[in-house]
């Protein structure tokens, strides 16, 4: 979330727009009386300048259809003859063709007020690949947009590199303490004998102390309904790291104060009725555990109003000596496969890092690089769940 709007864009309604009256523009908020218009090159250059400046700073909101005086919102004027689909498509197209690199997570929503007036809300996430170029490099200072100087450009490149590194360091530390079953660092006692599936969903505001998750907020009942969202985790409590939901001693979802969400689940390793009792795991079962962990994290993030985009990082622990098999239900088939597929030589597998742009993104499509890497680990070219065009071929696991 980016103040002063403490909801995801998909949850906004006319009451949230009404509450903006009286607020002043800031580094993360700008009001526009009219919608953006095209220039002589059929491009929304002013729009691209504004959103690149927000992405290069702290992210923020552009609200079109709001009248302002000296930077303070005074009235909801609405947008005349506004074709939402056409305008949003034009804005998105201009952003994609003008701004380099692409701003991930850019989102739009047209909201109708009780009076019939239409207000266009544009959400610009803080970028992890800044600075973005829109003919020039821009930055937002207080209520204005300015060109970045050389020092600011250098600092932006450096910050983008360090954000990705901090995310990976956070994941590395968490995987290490989970692997060690450090009871001072993890909220449940993980039984031994199986493998551990880990998913981390980390927002871009991860390293911004001004946007930490306020788990004790009385004004926003974020955790009051979380049990309804992730009903497979019936027990919840506050802890040192933030808030955790647990499912007996098998799995948990940890909400960290910095906004990161961690899913940990135990999986079964089979050694029955096979040659030399070699341990093995079905690729399908591992994929399902990872995929469900991702969906739980995504549902949890939405429930506590965490604004995308997110880093998604998947890991597997306690896999050394285990063989990943593509299929195999019968005794003979499993033994034949074990002859053809070697055991894993690493205890921990850090799978592909990907970015989830918004809540409308298909979980199955987002997860493909991770599943492909999982199948690669078993010595197989790609995950068979996708067709030649990269589309999911069957019903998603649930």
Residue 395 lies in a domain: no
Both 88 and 183 in a single domain? no
pTM of the model: 0.77
Both 105 and 168 in a single domain? no
Residue 3 lies in a domain: no
Residue 154 lies in a domain: no
- Residue after which a domain boundary falls, among 148, 172, 190: 148
Determine the 3-state secondary structure of 35 from DSSP. Answer: coil
CATH number at residue 68: 3.30.950.30
Residue 242 lies in a domain: yes
- Residue after which a domain boundary falls, among 148, 169, 199: 148
- Residue after which a domain boundary falls, among 113, 148, 183: 148
Contact 30, 66 (CB under 8 A): no
Angle at alpha carbon of residue 136, lines to 130 and 138, rounded to 5° = 55
Residue 4 lies in a domain: no
Both 121 and 199 in a single domain? no
Both 340 and 269 in a single domain? yes
HEC readout, 77-140: CCCCCCCHHHHHHHHHHHHHHHCECCCCCCEEEEEECCCCCEEEEEEECCCCCCCCEECEEEEE
Residue 300 lies in a domain: yes
Alpha carbon distance 28, 9 (integer Å): 14
Both 212 and 122 in a single domain? no
Evaluated on CA atoms 102, 108, 162, 373, the torsion sign reads: negative
Both 132 and 165 in a single domain? no
Residue 219: per-residue pLDDT: 43
Residue 56 lies in a domain: yes
Angle at alpha carbon of residue 1, lines to 293 and 123, rounded to 5° = 105
Alpha carbon distance 237, 162 (integer Å): 33
Both 208 and 333 in a single domain? yes
- The 8 Å CB, 24+ separation contacts for 389-393 are 390/365, 391/365, 392/362, 392/364, 392/365
Dump strand ranges (E) for 155-217: 195-203
Both 120 and 257 in a single domain? no
Both 124 and 194 in a single domain? no
Alpha carbon distance 60, 16 (integer Å): 15
Alpha carbon distance 378, 84 (integer Å): 48
In tens digits, the chain (398 residues) has pLDDT values of 566 787 888 889 999 999 999 999 999 999 999 988 876 566 689 999 999 999 999 899 999 999 999 999 999 999 988 899 999 999 999 999 999 999 988 999 999 999 999 999 999 988 888 999 999 999 999 889 999 999 999 998 888 777 888 899 999 999 999 999 988 899 988 888 889 999 999 988 776 665 666 655 534 455 555 656 667 788 888 888 988 989 876 899 999 988 899 999 998 887 655 556 778 888 989 999 999 999 899 988 888 878 888 999 999 999 998 888 886 555 566 667 777 888 899 999 999 889 888 887 778 888 899 999 999 998 888 888 888 888 888 665 55
Question: How many domains, in total, are found in the chain?
Answer: 2
Residue 387 lies in a domain: no
Both 188 and 304 in a single domain? yes
Both 165 and 51 in a single domain? no
Residue 387 CB contacts under 8 Å (≥ 6 apart), including other chains: 393
Alpha carbon distance 199, 183 (integer Å): 19
Residue 224 CA neighbour count, 13 Å, CB half: 7
Both 83 and 189 in a single domain? no
Domain of residue 63, residue span: 9-148
Residue 221: per-residue pLDDT: 52
């Amino acid at each position: 979330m980016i103040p002063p709007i403490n909801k995801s864009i998909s949850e906004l309604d006319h009451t949230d727009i009404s509450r903006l009256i009286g607020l002043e523009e800031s580094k993360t908020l700008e009001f526009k009386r009219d919608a953006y218009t095209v220039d002589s090159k059929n491009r929304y250059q002013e729009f691209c300048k504004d959103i690149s400046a927000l992405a290069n700073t702290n992210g923020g909101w552009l609200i079109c259809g709001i009248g302002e005086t000296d930077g303070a919102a005074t009235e909801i004027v609405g947008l005349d003859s506004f074709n939402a689909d056409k305008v949003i498509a034009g804005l998105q197209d201009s952003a994609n063709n003008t701004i380099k690199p692409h701003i991930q997570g850019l989102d739009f929503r047209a909201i109708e007020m009780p009076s019939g007036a239409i207000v266009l809300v544009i959400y610009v996430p803080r970028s992890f690949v800044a600075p973005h170029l829109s003919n020039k490099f821009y930055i937002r200072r207080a209520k204005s947009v300015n060109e970045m100087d050389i020092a600011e450009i250098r600092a932006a490149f450096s910050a983008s590199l360090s954000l990705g590194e901090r995310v990976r360091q956070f994941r590395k530390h968490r995987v290490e303490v989970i692997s060690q079953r450090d009871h001072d660092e993890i909220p449940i006692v993980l039984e031994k004998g199986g493998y551990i599936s880990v998913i981390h969903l980390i927002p871009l505001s991860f390293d911004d102390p001004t946007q930490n998750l306020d788990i004790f907020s009385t004004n926003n009942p974020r955790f009051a309904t979380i049990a309804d969202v992730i009903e497979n985790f019936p027990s919840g409590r506050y802890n040192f790291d933030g808030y955790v939901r647990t499912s007996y001693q098998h799995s948990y979802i940890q909400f960290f104060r910095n906004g990161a969400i961690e899913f940990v689940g135990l999986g079964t390793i089979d050694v029955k009725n096979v040659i030399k009792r070699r341990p093995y795991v079905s690729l399908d079962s591992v994929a399902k555990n990872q995929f469900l962990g991702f969906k739980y994290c995504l549902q949890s993030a939405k429930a506590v109003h965490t604004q995308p985009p997110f880093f998604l990082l998947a890991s597997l622990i306690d896999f050394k000596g285990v063989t990943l098999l593509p299929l195999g239900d019968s005794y003979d088939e499993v033994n034949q496969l074990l002859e053809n597929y070697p055991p894993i030589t690493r205890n921990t597998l850090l799978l592909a890092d990907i970015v989830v742009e918004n809540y409308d993104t298909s979980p199955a499509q987002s997860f493909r690089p991770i599943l492909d890497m999982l199948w690669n680990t078993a010595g197989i070219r790609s995950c068979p769940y996708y067709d030649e065009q990269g589309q999911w071929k069957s019903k998603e696991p649930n």
